[in-house]
Chain A
Amino acid sequence: MSPRLDRLPEGNRKNLLNLPVQTNETAPFARLAKPLAACRVAIVTTAGLHRRGDRPFGPGEQTYRVIPADTPAADIVQSHTSLGFDRVPIMRDVNITYPIDRLRELAARGAIGGLAPNGYSFMGAQRELSRIEGETGPEVARRLREDGADVAVMTPT
């Protein structure tokens, strides 16, 4: 079931192959200082999600939206500007991209310490990433730390 490049419509395939992709040798690595059961977990998504009523994402926008952890799933909408993916799953179930109910269940079972007070959303599949890398990404990192988030689960479109 993988979105292998050869299975996508030609326009989508070309767009994906042409997206800028860094080639890195190593990765930054922040070790967890405590067990997962004591950790506060946030979701950070690049699926262009936000609360209904927030300003939708426009083309090429490298800003982010804040999604408070108590936002009902029914109030989360998607304004991702790409047409290259199936929107029907998220119409049915926001957890397919933003697993907020699943994290609530994990917190209730004690598998994680709890939810961080906010999730964050960017819009992905962009050609130009310098603002995300240099400005809005680090800003969200600071906000996550201020929120007391220990872990961010990152989800794509």
Chain B
Amino acid sequence: MLARALEANGVATTSISMVREHTEKVKPPRALFVPFPFGHALGRPDDPELQHRVLRAALDLLGAPAGPVLRDFPEDAEPGVEPPVPRQASSITPAADVAVDPVAEVREFLRRHEAWRAKSGGRTAFGLSGLPAGRFDDVVGFLQRFAGGTDADMEERPASVALPGFIRWCADDLKTLAFEGYLAMTPEAGGDEIARWFWGTTAAGQLLRRVRDRLDTSADATWKAAAFGVAR
């Protein structure tokens, strides 16, 4: 739909499509359907050759004389190598020996995250909350107080960012510290393995469930929306 708006205003577009049923109806001007899961639009991370083949196939559509064009990317994954879709928190039961101290735990996440940054050349998805990683033991304390029902807040919350949005970004950054720290230890881990570890065994996972619960009990629509973005 956005592609159609750009094309109607004079910009030639070529789109990567991941839901063929939608693309068939919407009819963007040029679309390459790819057989990859969400989160994998260009095929596989750290596989520049595959990414180049996908990009080349998308750019080749610009040679079509008329549209709409919908072509299928010819490659599929090797059989048996399909990454499972990461499960949501609600479908993962906490283990009997789930960790209980989220503040001690986040300090361990931070140590692992430093290892991640060293390996990744500084690449990290961290940084939505605006708070530096070194403050995240305080952030976890704030989230605990919030989950406990108090009028919790942090003085670092920018005036322009409402509390539920700030909580959402803190939750995202906490998950990033945890997930990327896991990747530093187990580089080949996929999203489903990490999701099962996070929601099933970590104190942070249990804390975010409680944060979600408090947000979700509010009558305020912005709190409920934030709940939906913290855990599901």
Which residues of A line the B interface, CB within 8 A? 1-3, 5, 7-9, 11-12, 16, 19, 21-32, 36, 41, 44, 46-47, 52-53, 55-56, 58-60, 73-74, 77-79, 81-97, 99, 101-103, 105-106, 112, 122, 129, 132-133, 137-138, 140-142, 144-145, 149-157
**Neighbour of A96 across the interface among B20, B45, B168, B226, CB < 8 A:** B45
Tell me whether A157 and B41 are in contact (CB under 8 A). yes
Given contacts A58-B165, A91-B183, A92-B45, contact A86 B12 (CB under 8 A): no
Name which residue of chain B comes closest to A80, CB basis: B229
A59–B46 Cα distance when bound, in Å, is 30
Which residues of B line the A interface, CB within 8 A? 1-22, 25-29, 34-46, 48, 51-52, 55, 58-59, 62, 66-68, 76-77, 81-83, 85-88, 91, 120-128, 130, 160, 165, 168-169, 172, 175-176, 179-180, 183, 189-192, 194, 222, 225-226, 228-229, 231-232
Given contacts A22-B26, A93-B45, A133-B1, contact A141 B11 (CB under 8 A): yes
Chain A residues contacting B28 (CB-CB under 8 Å) are 27, 154
CB distance from B93 to the nearest CB of A (A): 15
Interface centre among A27, A46, A92, A142 (most CB of B within 10 A): A27
Chain A residues contacting B231 (CB-CB under 8 Å) are 83
A27–B34 Cα distance when bound, in Å, is 20
Tell me whether A24 and B29 are in contact (CB under 8 A). no
A1–B85 Cα distance when bound, in Å, is 10
Tell me whether B76 and A1 are in contact (CB under 8 A). yes
Tell me whether A151 and B13 are in contact (CB under 8 A). yes
A97–B225 Cα distance when bound, in Å, is 25
Given contacts A30-B12, A91-B124, contact A141 B6 (CB under 8 A): yes
Tell me whether B183 and A46 are in contact (CB under 8 A). no
A101–B175 Cα distance when bound, in Å, is 26
CB distance from A109 to the nearest CB of B (A): 10
Given contacts A90-B125, A92-B45, A102-B48, contact A1 B82 (CB under 8 A): yes
A128–B37 Cα distance when bound, in Å, is 24
Tell me whether A86 and B1 are in contact (CB under 8 A). no
A46–B4 Cα distance when bound, in Å, is 14
Chain B residues contacting A79 (CB-CB under 8 Å) are 128, 169, 172
Tell me whether A87 and B191 are in contact (CB under 8 A). yes
Chain A residues contacting B66 (CB-CB under 8 Å) are 29
